Structure 1
Amino acid sequence: MNKNFKTIVLATLVTACQNEKAINPAEEITLLPYPSTEKGNVADSHFGTTVPDPYRWLENDTAADTKAWVTEQNKVTNAYLDQIPFRDAIYARLEKLWNYERFSAPFKEGDYTYFYKNDGLQNQSVLYRQKGEDGTTEIFLDPNKFSEDGTTSLAGIAFSRDGSLVAYQISEGGSDWRKVIVIRTEDKSIVGDTLLDVKFSDLAWRGNAGFYYSSYDKPVEGSTLSGVTDEHKLYFHTLNTPQGEDKLVFGGSVTPRRYIGGYLTEDERFLIITAANTTSGGELYIQDLSKPGSPILTVVDNFEKNHAVIDNEGERLFIYTNLNAPNGKIVTVDASNPKPENWVDLIPETENVLNPGTGGGKIFANYLKDATSMVQQYDRNGRLERAIELPDVGSAAGFSAKMDDKELYYSFTSYVYPPTIFKYNIASGTSELYKASGVDFDPMKYESKQVFYTSKDGTKIPMIITHKKGLELDGHNPTLLYGYGGFDISLTPSFSTSNIILLEQGGVYAVANLRGGGEYGEKWHLAGTKLQKQHVFDDFIAAAEYLISERYTSPEKLGIAGGSNGGLLVGATMTQRPELFKVALPAVGVLDMLRYHKFTAGAGWAYDYGTADDNEEMFNYLYAYSPYHALKPGTVYPATMVTTADHDDRVVPAHSFKFAARLQEYHKGSNPVLIRIETKAGHGAGKPTAMVIAEQTDKWAFLFQNTGTSYVE
């Protein structure tokens, strides 16, 4: 080697090392005493078993004593986090990483093309529009102006068919309760009054006369955040009339259902109504709006399977269903006689799970193959036209468009492939790059691979593991294992700006596709529900054991995380195997399995969980794994940071409050057990960017500190 060249290389390496600064974890952090949490004498009796619930008072989330408890808990948590020496450096790095332009795929409404854009650190993405290809781009709706602190978000939007009117939903503080505002798109002038107390609702226009929406009667007793919402109602709102005069179309006391949705076929001929009492399975109804006074016809009259009308061609309906097809299929039927016995298979079930879309007169079958996307294009007679070539192995979404569209836009991502938008020509089947991601990340430095490990009962479980190339498998790598495992939800590969923090520090990010999810269809989902729920926890524990046995990490370097149902997952596994993990991060979790169904729409989760009121066997099963009840006095638990929000009206914060209070009471040892309670935030949707960055900063700081991981700037 040339001597001068060697000198230059050596000088470059020395300079690079000098520019890097390793910040070590604090050798000792002063943990303030946990707040003294009052204990009551409340107890419930279930089939002869008395179950104490001393922290029941924390369920009253708006009470003064609960608010005072929240304040004191946050003081302890913030005092701990403030002492972590690399917390500020992580925040600065995350803020820099987040500061790039982010775009959504464009969509056409009337004479305009609309798209969302975030300049980088804006709390909420802004909706822009442009008339024609050469028109001037202008701001259409800026949610950052909805509130001074960015906590009011745009939570849904629906344009009338001609694009002249738009109804949009806003969420305040992350609540599921929404307001609906209607404006004219041409001049943005408001039309009529603002609709209030709308919840779990799409908006479906019928011409320009008005739109369908769904809601509940708002609770009148106790907290409006935690009160039970039970009877959903589908209304039609006529523009420029009071909301109190809105017509009840379906639901309420006449047809009581917990979840009701209404949408129209693109030609606005058919109103489609879905009705369910749980999160899986539901009834299906249609109404032919082209015939005045036509009745609502029953298509499916039970709650056993999932169905949706995805398109129509005159009276010919295209229906997605998993009836007699656990992985899903598409059938057709005449709307005049739409019962299942008349359905004709159009795209039969395959070994892969189907998630269909339509557009340009085509049907796009987006399949899950081992939790990654595989997309095929069919004509409306069920003839396969082509398999769509995707840029890599990962997740593709957005294969839908209007009937007359010649092109559509889809996004593609993986754990090492930042979200990228492609334009797809429906006729030719060719894709071209539309918007690349501007995030500061070099995919060539990292690798992401899928492995299959064996769970406790012998079932093979897929997991995708992501890390730097050339990672040494010495058992000393900080690792975060993430999972969900419920509600037929599939965890497919997706890029996370936040995860760059872990990866560039030499850490490992692992996502296990547990039973209870939808990765392998209905059978996979059912294998993790009710009296089979322990399978989910066993799968997650086995994932941790695999990562340890293969020397990716060790119990002293391993953290686990999950949110909502994933928060239950973390809570259950950390109580069953506390020695297996060093850090636990249960977020907005379902943690009291005996009472979850008594808050908001929680009873709708019974399809997955069952309830303690069902029978003695179900009670005993829930009682055994319920994280709040499974905590044991004098046990050394992992360093734990529970996270929740005071406006979470889906999984109410009482779950996290009660769990954290008992965990602090029972925990033995020096590991910190904290609760971080966000204010003016909900279950997660619409959270402002600044709040997200702060939360992610604390997550990584807590993980690195408690796994003894240095942070290199």
Structure 2
Amino acid sequence: MSKHIQAPVATVRPHELTAHNHTRIDNYFWLNNREDQEVIDYLNAENAYYEAETAHTKTFQTDLFEEMKSRIKEDDSSVPYFYNGYYYITRFEKGKDYPIFSRKKESLEAKEEIMFDCNVMAEGQSYFHLRGINVSEDNQWVAFGVDTVSRREYTLQVKNLITGELSPVSIEKTTGSSTWAADNKTLFYSRKDEVTLRADKIYKHKLGTSIEQDVLVYFEEDDTFDTHIFKEKSRKYLVIGSESTLTSEYRILESNNPDGAFRIFQERVREVEYNISHYDGHFYIMTNLDEADNFKLMQCPENKTGVEHWVELIPHREEVLLEGVDIFKDYLVISERSNGLVHLRIQPWDKNKEAYYLPFESETYNAYTGTNLDFDTEILRYGYQSMNTPSSVIDFNMRTREKEVKKEQEVLGTFDKNNYVEERIWATAKDGVKIPMSIVYKKGMKKDGTNPFLQYAYGSYGYSMEPYFSTTRLSLLDRGFIYAIAHIRGGEDMGRQWYEDGKLLEKWNTFDDFIACSEYVIAEGYTSAEHLYAEGGSAGGLLMGVVVNKRPELYNGVIAQVPFVDVMTTMLDDTIPLTTGEYDEWGNPNEKEYYDYMLSYSPIDNVVAQDYPNMYVSTGLHDSQVQYWEPAKWVAKLRVMKTNDKQLYLDTNMEAGHGGASGRFEALKEVSKEFAFMFDLEGIKE
């Protein structure tokens, strides 16, 4: 390894930040300006340092990229789904980076109509993402959003699917999503605040008019809420949703009356969440009303929607989290989670027929309902995968109980699922709670403490980390790595309480759980501290920041992707995108109790003079979720504070945002950097 290259040292310019009569000194506050050439020069210097220090792994990175790419079927396509007279298909062509969206009228044998070829649309762009494809009910118009910067600000456009012409109107600063009224000429969409990027406004646009004539339909005044609009599955109602972390509210309007006034379904009540589905004269409401932490299902007439009219259909259960419902003409499909795994329950509306569960055999797996847009069908489309089983799309006949695998993800090369073993193991947390881990490894693994081991987790926002299949992960497993997902508190993996016990003033549970999982796999001989690696992104990057401060000796290397590490400064600045909406997750630091608690773990504020593990930190200059300066300032501080000479890299993608590179295969280059970082530390050279 080259040792003669000098790591960049950021200029120290002390900046005082005072709250609650407490002053923090931020030596690198000046990095908070992406327009400043000195900032760009510093990020480029860090990139140059990373490139020089890892130059000896470049060939290996390229080989890894080609290896991972070779497992992916390049000329692939999605399972078609049928909606409103057309089959819709997403497909990829060999050698091309972006999807092609097409449709076929009434039959899969019909002529293909290409709606969007993103390869053509992305020409000349360093980043490209298309989302929110939304076809009018007469099948003539399609609205869509495009982002070419990676700040999740989409320009909304309309295309005539008959002539192929684009409407001259381009609407900027939108979320990319929209919905058509039943008249096929009124388009509703959500716009973002220019500074905070909060989706706060719903507008109405009429085809053939200018943007200046668009009507503001709804403005969400509460800056802790976002708003969006959609048409529910029966197509009878347009729905405006307003949501914060813990509270929701909906407004409804008949789709055939686009110039009417939206009416409130049920006024917001703090910490009451609900969502709505419509079917046959009734609304079905999934809610946590009356302390139903794991949610229950209720019903009301479509013309009497206030909470006083809600009648319970599925009661709250202590051990079962109600995650969602899919409504069909003859069946209700209920997605539940118990003991950390998803179960799908089929319940006929006919009371004379019994409900039943879909059978799943594996010890750890992920199942989920798929694209089910058709009401009048007995076919449920669902997905299934596990740590060693590629994802499948399955059509299940709810009447005959027969299933048809429409597609199993094809893994090119010599892949055989029987060569890999998946397990669910349980670590014991500091407070005695059992924490599940899903792990996978190549057959023949010995528990002698010598296996390289990558432990991944997220642990925030009630987001459950499912045990999923990954073709890229095979490059780790085939070289002797064990891979684990730690289902720590802060997610919803074990029910709603699992989330409640890992946020706000309980957030330390998230970090302690991850550490307990690391200690467990070392104690059980799966690995040792010399071979254990940790990885997390965004809020999972915060997790990485906390564990390296608290228990750096447990890990040989840590990968922190777009890490949220400057918690205090960000959460005290309500002009930064997303801040105010986060108070229900982390706490509002303008209140001293939360300030003190958040300060106890905020990674950048707790960097101390100690030995740190080898670290690879990545970010994107245009990131709208976690601003690039958080990891940049964190690395700058670690550089001068750490007391050993282990690797520390900051790798900034100067053209991307929170999700990284946009091309189908470009993202593999980022994965190959992470893998090469660990392989290098393990002495694995090919």
Answer yes or no: same fold by TM over 0.5: yes
Whole-angstrom CA distance in 2 between matches of 1:167 and 1:505: 46
User: Which residue, 226, 229, 233 being the options, matches 1:266?
Assistant: 233
1:162 has 2:138 as partner: yes
Say if 1:109 and 1:401 are closer, same or farther in 2 by CA, change over 3 A: closer
Q: Distance in 2 between matches of 1:126 and 1:389?
A: 35
Could you tell me whether the CA contact under 8 Å between 1:231 and 1:251 is conserved in 2? no
Matched residue, 1:609: 586
Confirm whether residue 595 of structure 1 aligns to residue 569 of structure 2: yes
Q: How many residues align?
A: 670
Q: Is 1:348 the counterpart of 2:315 in the alignment?
A: yes
Q: Deviations over 1:278-318 (max 9, x none)?
A: 3332223333456774551241322313211122322x111
Per-residue CA distance 1:631-684 (angstroms, 9 max, x = gap): 113x11110011111121111111111111111121221211111111221111
- Selected match of 2:70 from 86, 91, 96: 96
Which ranges of structure 1 fall in alignment gaps of 5 or more residues? 1-27, 220-227
Q: Provide the residue aligned with 2:283 in structure 1.
A: 317
Q: Are 2:669 and 1:694 equivalent residues in the alignment?
A: yes
User: Could you tell me how far 1:328 is from its partner in structure 2?
Assistant: 1.9
Q: 1:251 aligns with which of 219, 240, 246?
A: 219
Q: Which residue of 1 aligns with 2:154?
A: 178
Match of 1:387 among 329, 354, 357: 357
1:427/1:307 Cα in 2 relative to 1: closer, same or farther (>3 Å)? same
The equivalent of 1:242 in structure 2 is 210
TM-aligned CA deviation for residue 344 of structure 1: 1.0
2:10 maps to 1:33: no
The 5 Å alignment of 1:425-436 reads 425-436=397-408
User: Residue 455 of structure 2: which of 481, 484, 504 is its match?
Assistant: 481
CA distance in 2: counterparts of 1:331 and 1:136, whole angstroms: 44
Partner SS, residue 470 of structure 1: coil
CA contact (8 A) 1:478 1:704 kept: no
Distance, in Å, in 1 between the alignment partners of 2:478 and 2:583 is 41
In structure 1, how many angstroms separate the alpha carbons of the residues matched to 2:70 and 2:366? 26
| One-letter amino acid of the structure 1 residue matched with residue 594 of structure 2 | M
In the superposition, relative to structure 1, how do residues 192 and 257 fare at CA in structure 2: closer, same or farther (>3 Å)? farther
Given that residues 646 and 682 in structure 1 are in contact (C-alpha distance below 8 angstroms), is that contact kept between their aligned partners in structure 2? Answer: yes
2:639 alignment partner, one of 660, 664, 681: 664
Amino acid at match of 1:535: N
Q: CA deviation at 1:42?
A: 0.8
In the alignment, which residue of structure 2 is the partner of 1:378? 347
**1-side partners of 2:641 and 2:209: how far apart?**
57
* Aligned mate of 2:36, from 63, 75, 78: 63
Residues 57-108 of structure 1 show CA distances to partners (whole Å, capped at 9, x for unaligned) of: 1111232111111111110111122222633332331232235444333222
Q: CA RMSD in A?
A: 2.2
Counterpart residue type for residue 400 of structure 2: S
TM-score, normalised with respect to structure 2: 0.93
Aligned match for 1:629, one of 595, 599, 605: 605
For 1:233, the aligned partner's letter is K
Q: Secondary structure at the match of 2:458?
A: coil
Secondary structure in 2 matching 1:103: coil
2:538 maps to 1:568: no
User: Residues 58 and 187 (structure 1 numbering): CA distance in 2 closer, same or farther, change over 3 Å?
Assistant: same
Kindly provide the amino acid, as one letter, of the partner of residue 135 in structure 2. Answer: F
Task: Map 1:183-262 to 2 at 5 A.
Answer: 183-199=159-175, 202-207=177-182, 208-219=184-195, 228-230=196-198, 232-253=200-221, 258-262=225-229
What residue is the counterpart of 1:417 in the other structure? 389
Residue type of the alignment partner of 2:147: S
Identity %: 26
Distance in 2 between the 1:37 and 1:150 partners?
Answer: 28
Task: Find the aligned partners of 2:254 and 2:62 in 1 and give their Cα distance.
Answer: 60
Distance 1:275 1:686, change over 3 A: farther
The correspondence for 2:247, drawn from 281, 290, 293, is 281
Question: Aligned partners of 1:120, 1:110: CA distance in 2, in Å?
Answer: 30
- Aligned pair 1:152/2:125, yes or no? no
Seen in structure 2, the aligned counterparts of structure 1 residues 325 and 251 have a Cα distance that, compared at 3 Å, is same
Describe the SS at the equivalent of 1:341: helix
Is the partner of 1:86 in helix, strand or coil? helix
The answer to whether the Cα contact below 8 Å between 2:220 and 2:227 also exists between their aligned partners in 1 is no
User: Aligned with 1:232: secondary structure?
Assistant: strand
1:115 to 68, 73, 89: 89
Give the Cα separation in 2 of the matches to 1:628 and 1:371: 33
**Distance (Å, rounded) in 2 between the aligned partners of 1:163 and 1:150:** 32
Q: CA 1:515 to 1:652, structure 2 compared with 1: closer, same or farther past 3 Å?
A: same
Q: Does 1:407 align with 2:375?
A: no
Equivalent residues of 2:279, 2:327 under 8 A apart: no
Distance in 1 (alpha carbons) for counterparts of 2:326 and 2:163: 32
CA 1:102–1:354: 2 relative to 1, 3 Å: farther
> 2:16 maps to which residue?
43
1:558-610: CA deviations, max 9, x gaps?
11011111111111111111111111111111111112232112221111111
2:623 corresponds in structure 1 to 648
1:675 corresponds to which of 619, 629, 650: 650
Partner of 1:540: 514
- Which shows bigger deviation, 677-686 or 327-336? 677-686
- Work out whether residues 152 and 173 of structure 1, in 8 Å CA contact, stay in contact via their aligned partners in 2: yes
Does structure 1 residue 505 correspond to structure 2 residue 479? yes
Q: Relative to 1, partners in 2 of residues 1:373 and 1:455: Cα closer, same or farther, differing over 3 Å?
A: same
Of stretches 594-603 and 488-497 in structure 1, the one that deviates more from structure 2 is 594-603
State the distance in 2 between where 1:580 and 1:685 align. 28
Residue 454 of structure 1 is matched in structure 2 by: 428
How many angstroms apart in 1 are the aligned matches of 2:683 and 2:306? 60
- Secondary structure at 1:658 match in 2: helix
Q: Is the alpha carbon distance of 1:686 and 1:160 closer, same or farther for their aligned partners in structure 2, counting shifts above 3 Å?
A: farther
Higher relative contact order (CA 8 A, sep 6+): 1
Letter in 2 for 1:683: H
Worse-matched range after superposition: 601-610 or 418-427? 418-427
Q: CA deviation at 1:203?
A: 1.5
Whole-Å Cα distance in 2 between the matches of residues 508 and 673 of structure 1? 24
> Matches of 2:643 and 2:605 in 1, distance apart?
17
Measured after TM superposition, the shift of residue 458 of structure 1 is 0.7
| 1:178-202 residue CA offsets vs partner (Å, 9 max, x unmatched) | 0112112234222341211103x63
Question: Bigger shift: 442-451 or 516-525?
Answer: 516-525
Which stretch has the larger CA shift, 623-632 or 426-435? 426-435
User: Counterpart of 2:315 in structure 1: which amino acid?
Assistant: P
Q: CA–CA distance in 2 between the matches of 1:152 and 1:409?
A: 30
SS at match of 1:595: helix
Task: Give the whole-Å Cα distance in 2 for the aligned partners of 1:187 and 1:427.
Answer: 42
Contact 2:661 2:667 in 1 (8 A): no
Q: Quick one: which amino acid aligns to residue 506 of structure 1?
A: G
Aligned to 2:627, what secondary structure does the other structure show? Answer: coil
Distance across 2 between alignment mates of 1:30 and 1:269? 67
How many angstroms apart in 1 are the aligned matches of 2:315 and 2:126?
A: 46
Letter in 1 for 2:582: W
Q: 1:651 & 1:282 partners in 2: Cα distance?
A: 25
**d(CA) in 1 for partners of 2:279 and 2:50?**
55
Residue in structure 1 matched with residue 410 of structure 2 by the alignment: 438
Q: Does 2:587 match 1:620?
A: no
Deviation at 1:426, TM superposition (A): 3.8
